Amino acid sequence: MPPMLILGIESSCDETGIALYSTDAGGVLLAHALHSQVLMHQEYGGVVPELASRDHIRRTVPLLRKVMAESGRSLKELDAVAYTRGPGLAGALLVGAAFAEGLASSLGIPTLPVHHLEGHLLSPLLSRRPPRFPFVALLVSGGHSQLMRVTGVGEYRLLGETLDDAAGEAFDKTAKLLGLAYPGGPALAELAELGRPEAVKLPRPMLHSGDLDFSFSGLKTAVLTKVREIGSPDDRQRADIARGFQDAIIEVLVKKSMRAVRESGLKQLVVAGGVGANRELRRQLDARAAKAGISVFYPDLEFCTDNGAMIALAGALRFQAGASLKPPGAFAVWPRWSLSELTA
């Protein structure tokens, strides 16, 4: 099979990502660029879908030009365009999909619609020390908390998932309760480093449930109750609450992940998604895994959040696994698209 040059476009929420990936020499990421809308949405305390869509429109062409210039390649050399079909914000997805289909049509090349979560699952394959199939994956982000058995590209079996709030969502909501600015997750993790261990004990939801599912909404409610008990927490109290919250979530994620790997009989754990960048989560997972003889793999920090590189990679791997290329033209986005609906 001759090497392919694939452009990846990500626009599912509040980051615009463009990347160029070549399947030559085992796969090479030639260039990538990303624009985050964090500063724009901070004023509103969260993502405003209409503003997100408009910003994707403004950013896509400049990012594309930057990626092509850095790669030293031309648009005429592209073999296919991969883009995020879903899940995500409908308007944001439409921007990326319409641009991808229009560009592909003008160049006379096919497209590869990609599942956003598949991109995250496969993103550690971009690292210098990639995992090998099969492995267990912990996908933790603002919208998803899932444990999956990954046998190969398109071969995913759900082992457990959150029954309510995702871990990243719980981080953001708890940060807001503590008066931290959007995006709250990273700010809460930073504040937690100043907190005292065991100063605030919070529940570990579903830690002993006997399955691999999660629940984090009750933990958020426990924080709300603690804040109300105190009244107006000072800086030390806020740091202690943040530490107690983070410790509770991490303990649940680590123990459930270790159980999933043990029950699967595998020896590899992949951690992907924005929460996977949390330093304390990585530290505790690495420590527990080392004792159990398990290897843990993470995407590089720049690929933990949404990005075009993971979409270009997923598209390339899909094609290499036998997926059909789509003729450019008519398209649809799927804002609510379960990973379990994917097939090899």
Same domain, 275 and 136: yes
pLDDT for res 283: 96
Same domain, 85 and 39: yes
Same domain, 151 and 274: yes
Q: How confident is the model at residue 106 (pLDDT cuts 50, 70, 90)?
A: very high
| 3-class DSSP string for the chain | CCCCEEEEEECCCCEEEEEEEECHHHCEEEEEEEEECHHHHHCCCCCCHHHHHHHHHHHHHHHHHHHHHHHCCCHHHCCEEEEEEECCCHHHHHHHHHHHHHHHHHHCCCEEEEEHHHHHHHHHHHCCCCCCCCEEEEEECCCCEEEEEEEECCEEEEEEEECCCCHHHHHHHHHHHCCCCCCHHHHHHHHHCCCCCCCCCCCCCCCCCCCCCECCHHHHHHHHHHHHHHCCCCHHHHHHHHHHHHHHHHHHHHHHHHHHHHHHCCCEEEEECHHHHCHHHHHHHHHHHHHHCCEEECCCHHHCCCCHHHHHHHHHHHHHCCCCCECCCCCCCCCCCCHHHCCC
Q: What percent of the chain has pLDDT over 90?
A: 86
Residue range(s) defining the domain that contains residue 47: 5-122+304-341
Same domain, 173 and 85: no
Position 326 in a domain: yes
Same domain, 90 and 116: yes
pLDDT exceeds cutoff 80 at 131: yes
State pLDDT tens for residues 156-172. Answer: 999 999 999 899 999 99
Q: Mean of the pLDDT values across residues 258-266?
A: 97
Number of domains the chain contains: 2
pLDDT for res 344: 59
